């Protein structure tokens, strides 16, 4: 299989062949190209593929009517990428629904990972870190978020792992890319990054039965002083939150630390999206609000694994959803938002940042 | 849960046939002072989300109620009901009260926890009053049911309905039993849910008379017990109280349904209020000064498997 960057895999769900033939209807409708390996596959997959044309039409209509809060506009989203057969897939790979995850008792109870669990999570985290670094290395003006998605996807499947977001509640891509006023859950598309943008890459990986979740925000070329300030504070508030992570700390105190630091710097903490437990499940207990004065239950204990991922806004803390894609969360005032995220393990002596940066990681754009 | 310009949420709890719907209809009929909206919440967690019926003063139904801009997000801090209420207030900013009728067959505690949203969320609505309706004539039978008792323990206002179907002696007995599992609730009596409705709209949240008591109580009904503690805590700081209450609610093999207290915190100028439902609690400053240089904290706990010794151990351990 030709797996060079930019090559496509046949859209037919159970086919893993390289593909060069394009769907003519997609071309005619000027949708993002959909590739197929041969006529046979195209014919077989047509009943499913054609619904995509209709969906795109409806979505375009909604997009035209939508009241955007900032300058960013959605681009075209390419078709779903394939994952080779030998890779162990989560329950939503075909169904799109995390049914078992929602029903699990781990939504109520926080479990303590065994040494074997932790070893697997470390391996998973190494793949996640490598994938994020690979994505980071590709960030520059002119590159589309779709291209970065393909790089991250390829890195993850080349390491025999599954990109957790892919088809999770129907999410179409392997990575979340949140540009400028996007707070989180941005969908990679064909918009080229521009000089002065900030972009967050949010990577999640499923490997040996465990998930890991991490993200970072990068500069594209030369960015404004206010954007630099925002991104740096978003980074620092996560570090401050990690400093209090140890056995006996109350989960509710994480938000107090973040809120205090962020408000002192004249910025705002998003309230809608929270840190979460991670492990056998992509999202589970505990829920960790990033804002102060919250009543989140529970103490941190040895073996707990969870994410902290504060989303920091320049202006209002409020968010709205791009209702035409039902994923992209943007700031209500169109000002920028930045985020950093780690998966954290509570240890006897404090905590281990499972997704920590490596000496080989491309450096961040500011002094840390 | 303090006085602000926020829209106030009034929650009606009570067993099937206790008169919740009658009370709702009565309120909508006779009141003309406030902008009121009503949510009839006949769905339970197990059933998933079904659109609850929502009507305003004029009886108009809002059926688009659950088309949320922020619905169903995996790590949202706000539950569905609170998101819905917030969305509703955006559409109808003049609403002063939202009355929610809870499911007559369900434990209301998860709904109460959801409505008791974090201060940090700065929501435009807040839970003001919980009204518990009691079908007095069926009290004896229903009191055997755990679910019935759970529906009563959270109420700020207890409405003894169907007075006309009871003897005076029965009422006295009911009052006595209610004092055990909800000593803090204010009692009102009614026939067909007809009461002075101002008592609902202007109910004072914090009726702290209970804390005037001096001695320690332990009482038990069925498997639900009540403990009232009066304890000297000169050396416990606010942060230490948070950890101790967290231990009580999260760590021990106790099942605390309701906790309420007035706490003395070391190095603070005022008394602190403790409020808790199951695993959720909050300790916030009051405007009550510390009385006579005393360092006494008072705590009321309602729950299962609780003993005075266990609770005291947690509070006094280092």
Is 3.40.50.300 the CATH classification of the domain at B7-204?
Answer: yes
CATH code 3.40.50.300 region(s) in chain B: 7-204
Taking residue B193's Cβ as centre, other Cβ atoms within 10 Å add up to 21
Answer yes or no: is pLDDT of A356 > 60: yes
Residues of B in contact with A307 (CB under 8 A): none
Which of A357-366, B91-100, B163-172, B212-221 is predicted least confidently?
B212-221
The answer to whether residue A147 scores a pLDDT higher than 80 is yes
pLDDT, averaged across chain B: 80
A14 versus B30: the higher-pLDDT residue is B30
Calculate ∠ Cα A215-A1-A33, nearest 5°. 65
Domain residue spans of chain A: 5-65, 92-353
In contact, A205 and A161? CB cutoff 8 Å = yes
Mutate to test the interface with B, among A295, A297, A308 (most CBs of B within 10 A): A295
Q: Which structure tokens are listed for A220? A: 């594209």
**Percent above pLDDT 90 for chain A:** 81
Contact between chains at B77 and A272 (C-beta distance less than 8 A): yes
Sign of the CA dihedral running B146, B151, B157, B162? negative
- Please indicate whether, in this complex, the C-beta atoms of A297 and B249 are within 8 angstroms of each other: yes
Those residues with Cβ within 8 angstroms of residue A64's Cβ, 6 or more apart along the chain or in another chain: none
Q: How far apart are CA B318 and CA A4, in angstroms?
A: 62
- Residue B213: pLDDT band by 50, 70, 90 thresholds? low
Please give the CATH number for the structural domain made up of B207-316.
3.30.1220.10
φ/ψ of residue B17, rounded to 5? 80, 15
- Cα–Cα–Cα angle for A14, A19, A21, rounded to 5 degrees: 115
The listed CATH number (3.90.230.10, 1.10.760.10, 3.30.1050.10, 3.20.20.140) that belongs to domain A92-353 = 3.90.230.10
Residue to test with chain B: of A107, A297, A320, most B Cβ within 10 A:
A297
What pLDDT is attached to residue B19? 86
Long-range contacts made by residues A62-66, C-beta under 8 angstroms, separation at least 24?
Answer: A62/A323, A62/A324, A63/A324, A66/A322, A66/A323, A66/A324
Token pair in block for residue A142: 């002119």
Six-digit token pair at B226?
């009540």
Residue B207: pLDDT band by 50, 70, 90 thresholds?
low
Contact B69 A320 (CB under 8 A): yes
pLDDT at position B210, please?
Answer: 60
Residue from B45, B77, B127, B252 to probe the interface with A (highest A Cβ count within 10 Å): B77
Statement: residue B45 has pLDDT above 80:
no
Q: Are B98 and B37 in contact (CB under 8 A)?
A: yes
* Whether B279 contacts B200, CB under 8 Å: no
pLDDT of residue A32: 77
The helix or strand, by DSSP H or E, that contains position B30, with its residue range, turns out to be helix B20-30
CA distance B247 to chain A (A): 9
Residue A357 clears pLDDT 80, i.e. is over it: yes
Output the pLDDT for position B40. Answer: 67
Is A290 annotated as a binding-site member? Answer: no
Residue in B70, B118, B250 nearest the CB of A294: B118
The response to whether A276 counts as a known ligand-binding position is yes
Q: Where are the beta strands (DSSP E) in chain B?
A: 7-14, 36-40, 53-56, 97-101, 125-135, 157-161, 186-189, 217-221, 224-232, 255-263, 270-277, 280-289, 296-304
Convert A170-180 to b/e letters by CB count within 10 Å (16 or more is b). ebbbbbbbbbb
- Convert the pLDDT of each residue in A292-328 to its tens digit: 999 999 999 999 999 999 999 999 999 999 999 999 9
Tell whether residue A86 is among the known ligand binding residues.
Answer: no
CA distance to partner chain A, nearest, from residue B284 (Å): 10
| A227 pLDDT above the threshold of 70 | yes
Q: Determine how many CB atoms are found less than 10 A away from the CB of residue B156.
A: 23
Q: Residue B47 — pLDDT band, cuts 50, 70, 90?
A: very low
Torsion of CA A242, A245, A250, A252, to 10 degrees: 10
A202 pLDDT above the threshold of 60: yes
In the predicted model, is pLDDT for residue B216 greater than 70? no
Computed over every residue of chain A, the mean pLDDT equals 94
Q: How far is A54 from chain B (nearest CA, A)?
A: 23
Residue A356 token pair: 């920590």
What torsion do the CA atoms of A65, A70, A73, A74 make, to the nearest 10 degrees? -90
Higher pLDDT, B103 or B65: B103
- SS3 state at B98: strand
Whether A184 shows a pLDDT value over 80: the answer reads yes
C-beta atoms of B118 and A250 within 8 A: no
CA B225 to the chain's CA centroid: 17
The values of phi and psi at residue A262, to 5°, are: -70, -40
By DSSP bridging, strand B255-263 and strand B270-277 are antiparallel
Stretch A134-160: mean pLDDT, rounded? 97
A185 is in an annotated binding site: yes
What tokens appear for B99 in the block?
């009355």
- The verdict on a CB contact (< 8 Å) between B243 and A250 is yes
Q: What is the mean pLDDT of residues B152-167?
A: 90
Range scoring the smallest mean pLDDT among A4-18, A80-94, A288-302: A4-18
Task: Determine contact, residues A295/B283, Cβ cutoff 8 Å.
Answer: no
Partners of A204 in the beta sheet? A213
Return the number of other C-beta atoms located less than 10 Å from residue B101's C-beta.
Answer: 22
Interface test with A, best of B120, B239, B246 (most A CBs within 10 A): B120
Contact across the interface for B76 and A272, Cβ inside 8 Å: yes
Q: A21 Cβ partners below 8 Å, 6+ apart?
A: A35, A36, A37, A38, A39, A42
Q: Which residues of chain A make contact with B78, given a CB cutoff of 8 A?
A: 272
Q: Residues of A with CB below 8 A from B246's CB?
A: 250, 297-299
Confidence of residue B2 (pLDDT cuts 50, 70, 90): very low
Beta bridge mates, A210: A207
Chain B residues whose C-beta sits inside 8 Å of any chain A C-beta: 69-70, 73-78, 116, 118-122, 242-243, 246, 249-251, 279-282
| pLDDT tens track for A248-283 | 999 999 999 999 999 999 999 999 999 999 999 999
* pLDDT confidence band for B41 (50 / 70 / 90): low
Nearest residue in B to A291, CA atom:
B120
- A145: confidence class by pLDDT, cuts 50, 70, 90: very high
pLDDT for B55-92, tens place per residue?
A: 544 545 444 333 323 222 222 334 567 877 887 788 77
Contact assignment for B120 to A291 by CB distance below 8 Å: yes
Give the gap in angstroms from C-alpha B267 to the nearest C-alpha of chain A.
Answer: 20
Q: What is the CB neighbour count within 10 angstroms for residue B61?
A: 10
Give the number of A-B residue pairs with CB atoms closer than 8 Å. Answer: 67
> Highest mean pLDDT range out of A90-99, A233-242, B28-37, B300-309?
A233-242
Is the peptide bond between B22 and the residue preceding it cis, with omega within 30 degrees of 0? no
Per-residue confidence (pLDDT) for residue A192, from 0 to 100: 98
For chain B, give every residue range classified as CATH 3.30.1220.10.
Answer: 207-316
Tokens standing for residue B214 = 């001096």
Q: Which residues of chain B have a CB within 8 Å of the CB of A273?
A: 73, 75-77
Average pLDDT over residues A103-124: 97
């Amino acid at each position: 299989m030709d797996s060079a960057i930019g090559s496509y895999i046949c859209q037919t769900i159970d086919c893993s062949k390289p593909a060069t033939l394009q769907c003519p209807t997609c071309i005619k409708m000027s949708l993002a190209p959909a590739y197929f390996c041969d006529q046979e596959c195209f014919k077989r997959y047509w009943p499913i593929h054609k619904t995509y044309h209709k969906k795109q039409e409806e979505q375009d209509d909604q997009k035209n009517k939508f009241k955007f809060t900032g300058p960013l506009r959605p681009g075209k989203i390419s078709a779903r990428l394939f994952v080779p057969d030998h890779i162990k897939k989560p329950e939503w790979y075909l169904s799109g629904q995390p049914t078992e995850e929602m029903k699990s008792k781990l939504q109520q109870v926080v479990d303590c990972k065994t040494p074997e669990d932790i070893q697997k999570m470390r391996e998973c985290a190494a793949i996640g870190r490598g994938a994020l670094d690979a994505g980071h290395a590709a960030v520059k003006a002119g590159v589309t978020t779709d291209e970065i998605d393909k790089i991250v996807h390829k890195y993850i499947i080349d390491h025999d792992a599954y990109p957790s977001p892919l088809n999770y509640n129907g999410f179409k891509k392997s990575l979340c890319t949140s540009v400028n006023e996007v707070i989180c859950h941005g969908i990679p598309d064909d918009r080229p990054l521009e000089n002065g943008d900030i972009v967050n890459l949010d990577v999640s990986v499923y490997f040996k039965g465990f998930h890991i979740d991490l993200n970072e925000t990068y500069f594209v070329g030369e960015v404004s002083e206010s954007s630099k300030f925002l991104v740096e504070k978003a980074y620092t508030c996560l570090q401050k939150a990690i400093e209090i992570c140890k056995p006996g700390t109350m989960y509710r105190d994480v938000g107090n630390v973040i809120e205090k630091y962020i408000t002192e710097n004249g910025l705002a903490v998003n309230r809608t999206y929270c840190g979460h437990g991670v492990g056998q499940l992509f999202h589970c207990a505990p829920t960790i609000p990033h804002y102060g004065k919250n009543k989140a239950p529970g103490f941190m204990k040895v073996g707990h694994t969870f994410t902290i991922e504060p989303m920091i806004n320049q202006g209002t803390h409020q968010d709205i959803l791009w209702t035409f894609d039902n994923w992209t969360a943007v700031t209500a005032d169109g000002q920028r938002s930045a985020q950093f995220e780690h998966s954290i393990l509570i240890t006897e002596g404090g905590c281990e940042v499972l997704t920590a940066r490596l000496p080989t990681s491309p450096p961040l754009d500011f002094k840390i | 849960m303090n006085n602000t310009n926020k829209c106030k949420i009034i929650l009606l709890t009570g067993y099937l046939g206790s008169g919740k719907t009658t009370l709702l209809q009565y309120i909508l009929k006779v009141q003309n002072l406030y902008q009121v909206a009503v949510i009839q919440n006949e769905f339970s967690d197990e059933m998933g989300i079904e659109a609850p019926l929502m009507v305003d003063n004029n009886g108009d139904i809002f059926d688009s109620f659950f088309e949320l801009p922020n619905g169903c997000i995996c790590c949202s801090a706000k539950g569905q009901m609170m998101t819905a209420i917030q969305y509703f207030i955006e559409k109808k900013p003049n609403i002063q009260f939202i009355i929610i009728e809870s499911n007559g067959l369900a434990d209301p505690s998860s709904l109460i926890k959801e409505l008791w949203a974090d201060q940090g969320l700065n929501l435009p609505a807040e839970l003001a009053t919980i009204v518990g309706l009691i079908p007095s004539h069926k009290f004896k039978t229903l009191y055997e049911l755990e679910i019935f008792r759970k529906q009563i323990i959270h109420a700020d206002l207890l409405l003894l309905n169907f007075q006309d179907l009871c003897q005076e002696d029965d009422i006295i007995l009911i009052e006595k039993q209610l004092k055990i599992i909800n000593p803090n609730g204010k009692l009102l009596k009614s026939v067909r849910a007809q009461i002075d409705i101002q008592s609902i709209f202007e109910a004072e949240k914090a009726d702290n008379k209970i804390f005037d008591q001096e001695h320690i109580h332990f009482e038990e009904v069925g498997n639900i017990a009540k403990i009232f503690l009066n304890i000297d805590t000169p050396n416990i700081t606010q942060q230490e109280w948070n950890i101790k209450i967290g231990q009580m609610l999260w760590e021990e093999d106790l099942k605390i349904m309701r906790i309420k207290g007035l706490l003395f915190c070391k190095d603070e100028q005022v008394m602190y209020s403790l409020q808790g439902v199951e695993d959720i609690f909050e300790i916030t400053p009051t405007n009550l000064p510390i009385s006579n240089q005393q360092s006494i904290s008072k705590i009321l706990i309602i729950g299962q498997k609780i003993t005075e010794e266990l609770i005291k151990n947690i509070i006094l351990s280092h």
